[in-house]
Amino acid sequence: KLTQNKICIFHANVVFPFSPKQVPNEMFGSIPSEITSLLELRILSIENQNLGNRLPSTIGDLSNLVSLSLYNNEFVGTIPQAIQTLSSLLFLNLGKNLFEGNLESD
């Protein structure tokens, strides 16, 4: 269980703060649903993989996320409006995907 004073980072190759655990160098398919249940997650970086399909709206459940980079994958569809509810988010990179539309600005 994560505690409030730990920073949790998910990168396509390593998961912290637990003992470094290797995950596959290449990921295929969709974002694993387990990732969006890591509510203390601060940084989510899944770049240069083969992930696709739609970005799950449950990405908005990651309220502690400060950095989200899904650069250079194959995500399709619209960008979930739930991303706009991430009030702690300081960095967002969704480039080089196949998203349609834009995020609305205030």
What residues pair up with 63 in beta bridges, in sequence order? Answer: none
pLDDT tens by residue, 56-97? 999 999 999 999 999 999 999 999 999 999 999 999 999 999
Structure token digits, residue 101: 């539309």
Which residues partner with 66 through β-bridges? Answer: none
Quote the DSSP letter at residue 77.
E
Q: How confident is the model at residue 106 (pLDDT cuts 50, 70, 90)?
A: low
